[in-house]
Each structure stands twice: as structure tokens, then as C-alpha cells.
Amino acid sequence: MADALWVNDLHSALNATRVARVLQPVGREQICAIVREARAAGASLALSGGRHAMGGQQFATDQWLLDLRAHAAVHAFDAERGLITVDAGIQWPALMAACASLPARPDGLRWGIRQKQTGADRLTLGGSLAANIHGRGLRLPPIVGDVEAFTLIGPDAVARRCSRDENADLFALAIGGYGLFGVIADVTLRLAPRVPVRRSVEILTLDELVRVPAERDTSDWLFGDFQYSIDERSPDFLHRGVFSAYRRCEEPPDETEPQKQLHEADWVDLLALAHTDRAKVFDVYSGYYLSTHGQRYWSDTHQLSIYPDDYHAALDRRFGSPCRCSEMISELYVPRPALGEFMGRAAELLRGAGVPVIYGTIRLIERDTETFLAWAREPWACVIFNLHCEHTPAGLQQAAKTFRALIDLALVFGGSYYLTYHRWATRAQIEAAHPRFRAFLEQKKTHDPEDRFTSDWYRHHRDLFAD
């Protein structure tokens, strides 16, 4: 097709997709008009935000791409209840800036976001709802718990308000529904009191990590994550790590005092070192974080982070790589008491596979009881693996084999995996890890029988379950 365009994701760069059109609406009426136009043309729409998603759920080959990043206005604020209504295309830095500009209540309380996904910042709020993201909260469910309501524009181009009391079925389907039930046009988000927190940095083992929620008062210990050792030659591999936690404190951060922080060039250097000396990179990384012990932050803005877009292209040039490479991510879920044994067996698996772990972290998540296709079915330990992947047939085959083996290992412990980082899981693995997946596809057929909203990720899974 002569007027086709190519798009790709920003992390794995493994989803180069030819699309027929890229549309950038502003306002609910323009979105409705595009849906009506797609219906008249017999076209399908894929919904895209910040383009960090990696499994193809934001692109559809030869279909229309709805890029929502320009749809980003702030509409209303309820200072008493701590609710803000914004367009779903707003990205987290802009949303947080809008919160910072809000007036304080008469009692001095200021509002900020409760949680955002970690790693990258420039993701849209609508995309975050579609993936039902989670952050580093020590006692938080996924973002569904922070959503008061949203407006969903369905395949009939009708805008419907969805909440726990109104169109509750669509509320449960669209959050964690990967953009398949309509366009989330605007969101009313529950905010949290903005409080000062103090960073506490420790070197812990997995056994110590899983005891954190029981041993620490999580009304004060609000956030934390654990970066584990990635040196496959060390007995500490996947077992020992840096735990950075954030505890409520009385004294706000001193805005005039410079804090230690890593800049984008520092992160690129650390990523380069992770490819060449994984023993040293843990020493450098842990040393830096230990040096920040005691620094004070705000409970919302400390969640911002740096992600160098397409950093691997620079690394490929630096290393003289003969092929394109990137890191490929997957997130595995296991019951917390099983974390130590799971990670021990994962260490054996990864050493045997010869696939380098470039970055890995563990977070804790509380159970989601509200969404239809809930991935947080239990209070899991969430284990993120970023594995080095060469973009060759052999490299991709090795990555797929390794991630399938990690999924099998999680299933041994009654665990699960996150659905949309890749399309390498087998049908048996999907059914075991996500027992409501077939019913989810049936709901899709009921609410959108013409597949007006689609993606390459969805088409793959629809065909996998076609019988």
C-alpha cells in the first residue's frame, strides 16, 4: 500500500508494523468521528499511547492507528475528595505537573498521584488503564484501585461513563482490556495526599524481602523495590539485591539542596556495563543507591524515572554489534512464600540458557478483585526479567524458548505471567496462567463482534483460541 507507514515500540524494537493511517484526535468528538469513519470504511483501529508496550497490543498490521498523545487536556478537580479528571492521552509527567499546580485545601493538604508504572514516564494514562499497570507500592493493588470512573467510546461511537456503579461490566473489561473494548477518552483518577518520604537503602536477600510487608508498618513504609544481582557467575545471582524503600517522614525535602541522582548518560553507561561486566555493575549500582540513603523526596515525584529511548541503538554502535539487539522484558508472578525457590531455579535455568540478564527487579502487588482479566489474582511477588536479545532468527528463538521456560517455572509454583510483553507463550500456558482468558475473548466477541478495535497481539491470541 503506497501510503502505508511503519511504527515500532520503543523498548524491544521487535514490533515493526505497517499501518494504513495514523490519526491524532484532540477531544472526544474527534475520537467519535474517527470511530464512525472506521465503521463506514470497514477498518479496524489500534490504540496507541507512548509506544512503550512490547507485545504488539498497540499496533495492527494494515489497519488504522489511533495515536492519543495529543488528546491530553485537564478538565476538573475535586479538592475535597482528591479527584482529577483528565483526557486519557495525558502522559504521566504532564499529569503530575497538573497535580502540582492544584491549590492546596484549606487544611494545607496537597494532592498527588498514588502510583505510576516504573521505568518509563512518557506513557499515557489511558494506556496505563488498558494494561492495568502497577508501581512500587508495598500495599497497593494495580491502578484499577485508583480509578473512580472513565468515559469509554465503544465500537458504536457512543461515549459511555463507566464506573463501579455505571456500566460496571465495561469498567471491569476495559481496565486491563488492552484497548479491545473501546477508546478510554477521559479518566477521573483518585489522588493521594502528597507527603514527604525518606529513602532507605539496604542490601537484602529474598527471604528478607518477602518479610517486609509483615515486619514493617506499611502505613508509613509506602514504596519499595528490589534490584537483584544479575551476575550469573556469582552465588548471589537473583538472590541478593538492593532494596530501596520510601518511608513517610515529617520533614519535606529541601528544594535548595542538590540531591544525588543519575542522569540519562549515567543510565546508558550502567546499561553498557551490564552487557560487559555484570559483577561490577551491581557494585556500581548498589554503591550509588547506598550513597542516597536518607535523601528526602515527595511521595509522588520520587516515582519519576529516566528511560533513554532506543538506547540500544547507541550500545550496538558502541559494541560494534553485527546485528540489531535490544532487551526483552517479561514479568513473572509467584506466591511470595515461593519466591526464594522460584528464583533459585530461575538462576539455574538462565545460567544454562546462556541468556544474559541485563536488568531485573522485584516488586510486591496486592490482589485485584475488580477487573475481568485480573493478572494480580493473588498478592504476588512480581519478578521482572530484562534479557538481552539479538534480533536474528536464532536470537529470537532463544529468547522465546527462555521466556517459555520461565513461564513454565512460575506455573510450577501456582504463579502466572504478564500477558502482553510478547506473544511467545503457548496456548496451554495462557490457559494455565489466565484461566479466564477464553471468557475474555468471548466478552470481546459480544461487545465488539466486528473487531472494530484490534491489535496484532489480539489477532494472534484470537487465532490461537479459534477452535
Same domain, 108 and 216: no
Say if residue 307's pLDDT is above 90: no
Of 164, 193, 222, the one marking the end of a domain is 193
Both 315 and 376 in one domain: the answer is: yes
Write down the pLDDT at residue 217: 81
Q: State whether 138 and 249 are in the same domain.
A: no
- Tell me: do 188 and 200 sit in the same domain: no
- Split into its structural domains, the chain has a count of 3
Q: Which of 193, 215, 237 is the last residue of a domain?
A: 193
What pLDDT was estimated at residue 218? 76
Q: What is the mean pLDDT of residues 21-26?
A: 97
Domain-embedded: residue 304: no
In a domain, 344, yes or no: yes
54 within domain boundaries: yes
Is residue 184's pLDDT more than 70? yes
Residue 208 lies in a domain: yes
- Same domain membership, residue 402 and residue 278: yes
pLDDT for the residue 306: 87
In a domain, 305, yes or no: no
pLDDT band at 308 (very low <50, low <70, confident <90, very high): confident
- The residue that leads in pLDDT, 410 or 103, is 410
Max CA distance (Å), the chain: 63
Q: Do residue 177 and residue 213 come from a single domain?
A: no
> Is 380 within the bounds of a domain?
yes
If asked whether residues 319 and 460 sit together in one domain, one would say: no
CA atoms within 13 A on the CB side of 19: 26
Give me the pLDDT at residue 62, please.
Answer: 97
Q: What is the CATH number of the domain that holds 189?
A: 3.30.465.10
The pLDDT value recorded for residue 1 is 41
136 and 115, same structural domain?
A: yes
Phi-psi region of 100 (alpha: psi -120 to 50; beta: other; left: phi over 0): alpha
Quick one: which of 80, 191, 90, 195 has its CA closest to 146? 191
Same domain, 372 and 261: yes
- pLDDT bracket for residue 386 (50, 70, 90): very high
**pLDDT tens profile 36-71:** 999 999 999 999 999 988 889 999 999 999 999 999
pLDDT band, very low/low/confident/very high, at 2 (cuts 50, 70, 90): very low
Q: Could you tell me if 142 and 275 lie in one domain?
A: no
Whether 182 is covered by a domain: the verdict is yes
Instruction: Report residue 90 CA to chain centroid gap.
Output: 16
In the numeric block, the cell 516504573 is attached to 118
CATH number at residue 460: 3.30.43.10
Q: Quick count: other Cβ atoms within 10 Å of Cβ 391? A: 18
From 395, 405, 387, select the one nearest 278 (Cα to Cα): 387
Q: If you average pLDDT over every residue of the chain, what do you get?
A: 95
Q: Is 242 in the same domain as 259?
A: yes
CATH at 292: 3.40.462
Q: Which residue range(s) make up the domain with 11?
A: 5-68+439-464
Whether 398 and 319 map to the same domain: the answer is yes
Boundary of a domain, candidates 193, 214, 232: 193
